[in-house]
Amino acid sequence: MLKFIKSFLTETIDKFKDPKVLSITFLISFIILFLPPKYIKILKLEKFINEFNYIFGLLLVISGSGLLVLIGFKIYNKIQIQIFYFKRKKYLKTLSPAEKLYLSFYINKNKKTYKFSINNGVINKLVDSKILYINSAAFSYSMRDFVWEYLNKNKKLIELSEEEIKLLKKEGIYKK
Protein backbone atom coordinates (compact mmCIF):
# COMPACT_ATOMS: atom_id res chain seq x y z
CA MET A 1 0.00 0.00 0.00
CA LEU A 2 2.82 2.41 0.90
CA LYS A 3 4.62 1.67 -2.39
CA PHE A 4 1.42 2.43 -4.28
CA ILE A 5 1.01 5.82 -2.59
CA LYS A 6 4.66 6.67 -3.13
CA SER A 7 4.55 5.75 -6.84
CA PHE A 8 1.25 7.61 -7.27
CA LEU A 9 2.70 10.77 -5.72
CA THR A 10 5.90 10.48 -7.77
CA GLU A 11 3.96 10.09 -11.02
CA THR A 12 1.65 12.99 -10.12
CA ILE A 13 4.57 15.29 -9.30
CA ASP A 14 6.31 14.30 -12.55
CA LYS A 15 3.17 15.20 -14.51
CA PHE A 16 3.05 18.59 -12.81
CA LYS A 17 6.51 19.40 -14.20
CA ASP A 18 4.94 19.67 -17.66
CA PRO A 19 3.96 23.30 -18.41
CA LYS A 20 0.87 22.17 -20.33
CA VAL A 21 -0.44 20.17 -17.36
CA LEU A 22 0.27 23.11 -15.04
CA SER A 23 -1.54 25.53 -17.34
CA ILE A 24 -4.58 23.29 -17.83
CA THR A 25 -4.81 22.54 -14.09
CA PHE A 26 -4.55 26.24 -13.25
CA LEU A 27 -7.17 27.19 -15.82
CA ILE A 28 -9.68 24.49 -14.81
CA SER A 29 -9.22 25.21 -11.09
CA PHE A 30 -9.61 28.93 -11.68
CA ILE A 31 -12.77 28.47 -13.74
CA ILE A 32 -14.33 26.09 -11.19
CA LEU A 33 -13.52 28.35 -8.24
CA PHE A 34 -14.58 31.62 -9.84
CA LEU A 35 -17.48 30.47 -11.98
CA PRO A 36 -20.57 32.61 -11.24
CA PRO A 37 -23.20 30.79 -9.14
CA LYS A 38 -25.85 30.92 -11.86
CA TYR A 39 -23.63 28.83 -14.19
CA ILE A 40 -22.86 26.38 -11.38
CA LYS A 41 -26.63 25.88 -10.93
CA ILE A 42 -27.17 25.44 -14.68
CA LEU A 43 -24.42 22.80 -14.82
CA LYS A 44 -25.75 21.24 -11.57
CA LEU A 45 -22.30 21.30 -9.95
CA GLU A 46 -23.21 22.92 -6.59
CA LYS A 47 -22.77 19.79 -4.50
CA PHE A 48 -19.57 18.73 -6.33
CA ILE A 49 -17.92 22.16 -6.04
CA ASN A 50 -18.96 22.59 -2.38
CA GLU A 51 -17.55 19.18 -1.51
CA PHE A 52 -14.21 19.55 -3.36
CA ASN A 53 -13.73 23.32 -3.21
CA TYR A 54 -10.61 23.07 -1.03
CA ILE A 55 -8.99 20.63 -3.48
CA PHE A 56 -9.53 23.01 -6.39
CA GLY A 57 -8.13 25.84 -4.26
CA LEU A 58 -5.08 23.77 -3.48
CA LEU A 59 -4.65 22.84 -7.14
CA LEU A 60 -4.96 26.51 -8.10
CA VAL A 61 -2.27 27.56 -5.63
CA ILE A 62 0.11 24.71 -6.56
CA SER A 63 -0.28 25.07 -10.32
CA GLY A 64 -0.12 28.88 -10.12
CA SER A 65 3.06 28.68 -8.06
CA GLY A 66 4.52 26.15 -10.47
CA LEU A 67 3.75 28.40 -13.42
CA LEU A 68 5.36 31.37 -11.68
CA VAL A 69 8.50 29.34 -10.93
CA LEU A 70 8.57 28.06 -14.52
CA ILE A 71 8.22 31.58 -15.93
CA GLY A 72 10.93 32.78 -13.53
CA PHE A 73 13.32 30.07 -14.72
CA LYS A 74 12.59 30.88 -18.37
CA ILE A 75 13.32 34.57 -17.78
CA TYR A 76 16.47 33.73 -15.81
CA ASN A 77 17.74 31.43 -18.58
CA LYS A 78 17.06 34.06 -21.27
CA ILE A 79 19.01 36.62 -19.25
CA GLN A 80 21.90 34.18 -18.72
CA ILE A 81 22.06 33.45 -22.46
CA GLN A 82 22.09 37.17 -23.27
CA ILE A 83 24.87 37.76 -20.73
CA PHE A 84 26.84 34.88 -22.25
CA TYR A 85 26.52 36.36 -25.76
CA PHE A 86 27.31 39.86 -24.52
CA LYS A 87 30.51 38.69 -22.80
CA ARG A 88 31.67 36.74 -25.86
CA LYS A 89 31.02 39.71 -28.16
CA LYS A 90 32.89 41.98 -25.75
CA TYR A 91 35.80 39.51 -25.77
CA LEU A 92 35.81 39.45 -29.58
CA LYS A 93 36.27 43.22 -29.60
CA THR A 94 39.48 42.90 -27.55
CA LEU A 95 41.26 40.04 -29.33
CA SER A 96 45.04 39.79 -29.26
CA PRO A 97 46.85 39.79 -32.63
CA ALA A 98 47.49 36.03 -32.35
CA GLU A 99 43.82 35.35 -31.60
CA LYS A 100 42.79 37.47 -34.59
CA LEU A 101 45.16 35.49 -36.79
CA TYR A 102 43.84 32.10 -35.72
CA LEU A 103 40.20 33.17 -35.95
CA SER A 104 40.84 34.63 -39.40
CA PHE A 105 41.82 31.11 -40.59
CA TYR A 106 38.23 30.04 -39.97
CA ILE A 107 36.56 33.05 -41.59
CA ASN A 108 38.93 33.49 -44.57
CA LYS A 109 38.86 29.77 -45.45
CA ASN A 110 35.10 29.62 -44.77
CA LYS A 111 35.54 26.62 -42.45
CA LYS A 112 33.95 26.21 -39.03
CA THR A 113 36.34 23.44 -38.04
CA TYR A 114 40.12 23.54 -38.10
CA LYS A 115 42.89 21.29 -36.80
CA PHE A 116 45.48 22.81 -34.50
CA SER A 117 47.98 21.36 -32.08
CA ILE A 118 46.48 20.51 -28.72
CA ASN A 119 49.40 22.37 -27.13
CA ASN A 120 48.58 25.66 -28.89
CA GLY A 121 48.17 28.22 -26.10
CA VAL A 122 46.25 30.72 -28.23
CA ILE A 123 43.71 28.11 -29.31
CA ASN A 124 43.36 26.82 -25.75
CA LYS A 125 42.68 30.39 -24.56
CA LEU A 126 39.95 30.71 -27.22
CA VAL A 127 38.45 27.42 -25.99
CA ASP A 128 38.57 28.63 -22.37
CA SER A 129 36.88 31.86 -23.48
CA LYS A 130 34.09 29.82 -25.13
CA ILE A 131 34.87 31.20 -28.60
CA LEU A 132 35.95 27.78 -29.88
CA TYR A 133 35.16 24.31 -28.66
CA ILE A 134 36.87 20.96 -29.05
CA ASN A 135 35.12 18.89 -31.69
CA SER A 136 35.92 15.39 -30.48
CA ALA A 137 34.29 13.76 -33.53
CA ALA A 138 36.75 15.45 -35.88
CA PHE A 139 39.67 15.76 -33.40
CA SER A 140 39.75 19.47 -34.13
CA TYR A 141 38.56 22.86 -32.93
CA SER A 142 35.23 24.29 -34.06
CA MET A 143 33.93 27.83 -33.93
CA ARG A 144 30.65 28.39 -32.11
CA ASP A 145 27.78 29.27 -34.44
CA PHE A 146 27.06 32.69 -32.95
CA VAL A 147 30.80 33.58 -33.12
CA TRP A 148 30.89 32.45 -36.77
CA GLU A 149 27.92 34.67 -37.63
CA TYR A 150 29.22 37.62 -35.61
CA LEU A 151 32.72 37.53 -37.12
CA ASN A 152 31.35 37.13 -40.64
CA LYS A 153 29.26 40.27 -40.09
CA ASN A 154 32.16 42.10 -38.36
CA LYS A 155 35.28 41.00 -40.23
CA LYS A 156 37.11 44.13 -39.14
CA LEU A 157 37.41 42.54 -35.68
CA ILE A 158 39.89 39.98 -37.05
CA GLU A 159 41.74 42.24 -39.49
CA LEU A 160 45.40 42.64 -38.57
CA SER A 161 47.09 46.03 -38.66
CA GLU A 162 50.63 46.41 -40.01
CA GLU A 163 51.93 46.73 -36.45
CA GLU A 164 50.21 43.52 -35.42
CA ILE A 165 51.61 41.67 -38.45
CA LYS A 166 55.13 42.87 -37.58
CA LEU A 167 54.67 41.72 -33.99
CA LEU A 168 53.41 38.28 -35.10
CA LYS A 169 56.31 37.90 -37.56
CA LYS A 170 58.75 38.80 -34.80
CA GLU A 171 57.19 36.12 -32.57
CA GLY A 172 57.37 33.61 -35.43
CA ILE A 173 53.60 33.10 -35.60
CA TYR A 174 52.86 34.95 -38.85
CA LYS A 175 54.46 33.45 -41.94
CA LYS A 176 53.58 35.16 -45.24
- Give per-residue pLDDT as tens, 15-68: 777 888 889 989 999 988 888 888 888 888 888 888 888 888 988 998 999 899
In the predicted structure, residue 8 carries a pLDDT above the cut 80 = no
Task: Provide the pLDDT for residue 9.
Answer: 62
Lowest average pLDDT, out of 10-14, 159-163, 165-169, goes to 10-14
Task: Provide the pLDDT for residue 170.
Answer: 82
Upper half-sphere CA count for residue 50 (Cβ side, 13 Å): 7
Taking the C-alpha atoms of residue 161 and residue 97, their distance in angstroms, rounded to an integer, is 9
Taking the C-alpha atoms of residue 126 and residue 133, their distance in angstroms, rounded to an integer, is 8
108-114 mean pLDDT = 91
SS3 string, the chain, reads CHHHHHHHHHHHHHHCCCHHHHHHHHHHHHHHHHCCHHHHHHCCCHHHHHHHHHHHHHHHHHHHHHHHHHHHHHHHHHHHHHHHHHHHHHHHCCCCHHHHHHHHHHHHHCCCEECCCCCCHHHHHHHHCCCEEEECCCCEEEECHHHHHHHHHCHHHHCCCHHHHHHHHHHCCCCC
